[in-house]
Amino acid sequence: MSELDKFADIFQRRLHGVKQAQLRFAVCKSVNWSEKTMTAVGVSDDAPYKGVQLGFGYVDIKPKKDTVCLIGILEGREALTFLINAEDVELVEVKSGTIEINGGKNGGLVKIKELTDKLNSLVNIFNSHTHTVTTTGTAAAQSGTASPTASRAQAFNKSDYENIDIKQ
């Protein structure tokens, strides 16, 4: 695009009243998580921003109250504001079929309930087959009895291993 074409484009946008997008720093005053919106106040001018969108569906960010946020204003229309980033957040909600963390090098997240059930099944099998053997006699002619051990393997409790900050 030539310099003359760029100038003509800018001139046409100004002539028809098209405004540029803007960025503002604002402080989150309240969050309506069910509607995925927040109310904020501008840092430099105390201007109110209501109905600031917290995401566009696949990633929604819930900022903490009184935290500084960067918001975008589309085409200069304050009714079209959205959260870009926040200094401190309570929750990030991601909706995706697959999420890759660290390039997928560390494997996937564990289904803790299924893993706990499987481990406890193995503990039960182990406990039912573990016995103490008592023998008498010489090495060539031994006889003995088997009886269950006094100590048994303990069942696994998922709350000991589950990270409740990561949810599926």
Give CA–CA dist 36/57, Å, rounded: 9
pLDDT tens per residue, range 109-138:
777 888 888 888 888 888 777 666 666 766
Of 60, 96, 101, 119, the closest CA to residue 168 belongs to: 96
Q: Given this model, what pLDDT does residue 16 score?
A: 65
Q: Which CATH architecture has domain 20-94?
A: Beta Barrel (2.40)
pLDDT at 15: 67
Residue 166 makes CB contacts below 8 A (sequence gap 6+) with: 109
Question: Rounded distance, CA 123 to CA 156, Å?
Answer: 8
d(CA 22, CA 114) in angstroms, rounded, equals 48
**pLDDT score at 19:** 65
pLDDT at 137: 64
Domain-wise residue ranges, the chain: 20-94, 104-130+154-161
Structure tokens at 155: 């069942």
Write down the pLDDT at residue 74.
85
Which parts of the chain register pLDDT below 70?
1, 9-21, 103-104, 106-108, 130-135, 137-150, 167-168
What's the pLDDT score for residue 98?
A: 78
- pLDDT of 3: 79
The pLDDT, as a whole number, for residue 116 is 87
